[in-house]
Amino acid sequence: MIRFEKVYKRYPGSREALSGVDMQVDAGEMVFLTGPSGAGKSTMLKLIGLLERASSGQVLINGRNTAGIDRRQIPAFRRQIGMVFQDHKLLHDRSVFDNVALPLIITGTSAKDVGKRVRAALDQVGLLKAERLRPMMLSTGEQQRIGIARAVVSKPPLLIADEPTGNLDPDLSLEIMRLFTRFNEVGVTVVIASHDLALIEHLGNRRVALRDGRQEGTDSGA
């Protein structure tokens, strides 16, 4: 599903964020990227979502070299990936329903299907009742679940999440991670960047540990 081959990434005017990373994630797998902040976890996710491009080396998604995807092809490419962010990136001037519906709207899904699928996604994250509310009226944990609903509503085969539990207390964090596990169980490939080692160990998935842009090792989990 995802393959990194000797990937380097240097941001203009700063040190190397990734220094020759090799990594592979198989279809249907759930993998954690771990390491302290600045280790390169976010950069790896950005390379997967084509928010950034590798300075050298290859990033392959579904066997396709992402270097060959040009600007105009990026939208179609991103629709294959559900993205979840630490700060949720919800739009606060519209309802929860409209936020979750966005990925369906951009593909021109009919209004009837949008309603059905948005409610199904909200149901999966346990927030069916919140559809008419504004994101601001919800707690951080609930906002994150809305963000997850938006990421999965179009049923992408790949889900990536950057510190999805960064602002949450342990109980809420576990709840969010359980959601990801559940999506993984029905076949979605999941890659999560997180520094919450205790939680990750508890879940027991494979881990890719990073430090200073290098791979420290990969651990198949418990």
Partner 1 sequence: MARRPMAERRSKRPATPRRQTAAATRRGPAKPPTRVPFSAHGSHHLREFVGSLGRLAAQPLAALMTVAVIGIALALPAGLQLLVSNGRALSGQWDGAIEISVYLQQQVSAEQAAELVAQLQKDEAVAEVRLITAERALAEFRESSGFGAALDALPENPLPNLLLLKPAAGHDSANGVAALSERLREDLPADIVQADTEWVARFHAMLDVVRRVVALAGVMLALGVVLIVGNTIRLDIQNRRDEIEVAKLIGATDGFIRRPFLYTGFWYGLFGGLLALGLVGLSIAAMQEPVRRVAGLYGSGFDLIGPGMAGAGILLAASAILGWLGSWISATRNMRRIEPGN
Determine, following the binding rule CB under 8 A, whether residue 10 of this chain makes contact with partner 1.
Answer: no
Site for partner 1 in 123-152 (CB under 8 A): 123-124, 128, 150
Residue closer to partner 1 (CB basis): 92 or 202:
92
- Residue 177 and residue 88: Cα distance in Å, rounded? 15
Which of 10, 20, 95, 102 contacts partner 1 by CB under 8 A? 102
Write the interaction track for partner 1 spanning residues 153-192; mark x where CB under 8 A is met and - where it is not. Answer: --x-xx---------------------------xxxx---
- By CB under 8 A, how many residues form the interface with partner 1? 48
Q: Which residues make up the interface to partner 1 (CB under 8 A)?
A: 1, 27-28, 46, 49, 51-52, 61-64, 69, 72-80, 83, 89-91, 93, 102-103, 105-111, 117, 120, 123-124, 128, 150, 155, 157-158, 186-189
